Amino acid sequence: MIFWRVKPLDQILENAEKKSLKRQLGALQLTMLGIGAIIGTGIFVLTAEAAQKAGPGMMVAFVIAAVVCGLAALAYAELASMVPVSGSAYTYTYAVLGEAMAWIVGWALVLEYAVAAGAVAVGWSGYVNGLLNAANIGLPQFLQVGPYSGGAFNLLACLISLVITGLLIIGTSKSAWVNAVLVAIKIVALTAFVILAVPAAKSVNFEPFMPTGWGTPMGGVGVLGAAASIFFAYVGFDAVSTAAEETKNPNRNIPIGLIGSLAVCTVFYLLVGYGAVGAEGAQPLYDAAGKLLEPGTKEMMEACANSTALVCSNEPLAHVLRSLDHNTMAYLIGMAASLALPSVILMMIYGQTRIFFVMSRDGLLPEICSRVHPTFHTPHIITMITGVAVSLFAAMFPVGILADISNSGTLFAFIAVAFGVMILRQTQPGRARPFRTPLVWLVCPLAVLGCLLLFVNLSTKALTVFACWTVIGLFVYSMYGLRHSDLAKNGAK
C-alpha cells in the first residue's frame, strides 16, 4: 500500500529534460547561497526562545540541530540531483513512496513553508516594534502581539505578509544584486554583534549551564527541546541541494556547499549564542510554583512585564547590545533584521504556492489552485489564499509556537526523503545520480533517527497540531485527491 500509485521518475523528469540549465555554480557560490537562505528568524529571534527552554545550554542545542540538519541535507541532495524539478520533498516522495505518502508529505510541507512564513513575519514585527518603541512612536501593546501572548492582533506581522503576497501576485522578484545585498546585511549584522558581545562575556553568566537538563519527549524544554525549536534556524539549505542541475561538478561542489554553509552558520550561531549568554545571561524564568514558563504565553509576558532578561526580548540581539550601552549598534541590528527578514518571508510563501501549484497540476488539489494570472503569469489564486492564511497565523500566534509547528512538518518531510534515498538505492541502483550521499547506509539511518529525536522533543502543542493537520489532510485526500489525481484518471491502481 505504501507504494500505491508511484509516479515514475522518468515521467517526472520528462518536462525537465526539455530545458537544459547551464552548469555555472561553483562551491563558493553554493556556500553563499546556503548562508543567505539559512540565516534568518532563527538566529535573530529564536535565541530568546531557546534560552528560555535550555538556558546557556542552548549552545549545545545549536550543535545538535546542525548535525541533524547536515545529515538530512546530504540525503536531500541526492534526490534533488536526481529529480531537479519543482515540488521539493513532495515530488521526491511521489516518485518513491507513492501518491498517498506524497500527499501526506505535501500536506506537511504546508507547516514547513506557510507556517514558517508566519513565524518569520512575527520575528520581523518584533524588531520593527522595537525600533518604533525606541522612537516613542510604537503601536499600542495589544497590536504588537497576538492573543496567545496577551495582546489582540499582531498588526505589523499581518501587514508584511499581505504586502509580500501582493508582490508575489504581480510577479515582483528579487534581482541578484538585491539578494546579495540582503545576505551581506545579515552577515555584517551578526559579525558586528559577535565583535561587540563576545569580549563582554562573563563566565558567571554560564552557570548553571543546563538548568533545565536534557528534557523529556513531548516536553518541548531542555537542551533537546531547544534543539527541536532551533532546528528552524537551519532550514533553508535546500536552496543548495535544488541547485544541483546548475552546479559544476556536483559530486564535489554540492557537499561542499551544503556542509560549508551549515558549518559557517553553525560557527556564527555558536558565537552569537556565546556572546548573548556571556554578556547578558540567559537563565530561564519560572512561575511562583517553580514551574518553567512557556515562551510566548500570557503568563510569560506577565512575568516579563518588569524584567530585562534576555529570555523576555522579542529582539534579543538588539537587546543584548543595548544592555552593553551600544545603543547605535542595537538600532542598526534592528534595522538589519527589519530589512533582511522580509526576503525570507517571500521565499517561504513563494515555495508554498509552488508546492500547491504542482499538487494541483497532479490533480491532488482542485484545478483552480494552478490557474495562472493572464497578465502577471503567476498562480494568483493560490497565492492569495496562502498569503491570507500566513497573515492570520502571524497575527494570532507567537513566533516560538509557529516555529515548532513548522519544524514538525519539516522533520517529517526529511524523514520521508531519507527513506526515499535508501529505497531508490535498492530499487534503481543504476539510475544516474549527479550527487551520491556518502556512506548512505550510515548517513540516512542517522538522519531518520536524528529527525525522530527532534520530532518527539517538540512541544505537545506542536505535535498535537501536526497530528490534527495530518488527519485533516487524509480526509481531504480521501474526498478529492483519491479520485481526481492524474494517475487515477489514467487508470493507475
Instruction: Judge whether 8 lies within some domain.
Output: no
State the chain's mean pLDDT as an integer: 85
At residue 175 the predicted structure's pLDDT band, cuts being 50, 70 and 90, is very low
Instruction: Judge whether 1 lies within some domain.
Output: no
Residue 350's identity, in one-letter code, is Y
Is residue 174 pLDDT above 80, yes or no? Answer: no
At residue 20 the predicted structure's pLDDT band, cuts being 50, 70 and 90, is very low
> What is d(CA 61, CA 216) in angstroms, rounded to the nearest whole number?
14
Instruction: Judge whether 193 lies within some domain.
Output: yes
Residue 19: the pLDDT is 44
> What is d(CA 386, CA 393) in angstroms, rounded to the nearest whole number?
11
Instruction: Judge whether 7 lies within some domain.
Output: no
Higher-confidence residue: 225 or 295?
225
Highest mean pLDDT: which of 22-36, 109-123, 169-183, 463-477?
Answer: 463-477
Q: Buried b / exposed e across 112-149, counting CB within 10 Å, b at 16+?
A: bbbbbbbbbbbbbbbbbbbbeebeeeebeeebbbbebb
Instruction: Judge whether 9 lies within some domain.
Output: no
pTM (two decimals): 0.87
Give the pLDDT mean for 62-88. 83
Per-residue pLDDT reduced to its tens digit, 446-480: 999 999 999 999 989 899 999 999 999 999 999 99
Give the pLDDT mean for 39-60. 88
Instruction: Judge whether 11 lies within some domain.
Output: no
Weakest mean pLDDT among 149-158, 198-207, 233-242:
233-242
Per-residue pLDDT reduced to its tens digit, 332-342: 998 988 888 88
Residue 1: the pLDDT is 42
CATH number at residue 86: 1.20.1740.10
Instruction: Judge whether 213 lies within some domain.
Output: yes
φ/ψ region of 222 (left if φ > 0, alpha if ψ in -120 to 50, else beta) reads left
Weakest mean pLDDT among 120-134, 270-284, 349-363:
349-363
Give the pLDDT mean for 171-176. 54
At residue 371 the predicted structure's pLDDT band, cuts being 50, 70 and 90, is confident
Per-residue pLDDT reduced to its tens digit, 110-157: 888 899 889 999 989 989 998 898 888 989 989 998 998 888 999 999
Residue 2: the pLDDT is 46
The total domain count for the chain is 1
Higher-confidence residue: 449 or 5?
449
Give the pLDDT mean for 344-366. 85
Query: What range defines the domain where residue 334 resides?
Result: 23-489
Residue with cell 529505497: 423
Give the pLDDT mean for 388-404. 91
Higher-confidence residue: 175 or 347?
347
CB 5 within 8 A of CB 492: yes
Higher-confidence residue: 408 or 89?
408
Q: In terms of residues, how long is the chain?
A: 493
Instruction: Judge whether 13 lies within some domain.
Output: no
Closest CA to 317 of 301, 302, 338, 296: 338
Residue 262: the pLDDT is 87
Give the pLDDT mean for 55-80. 90
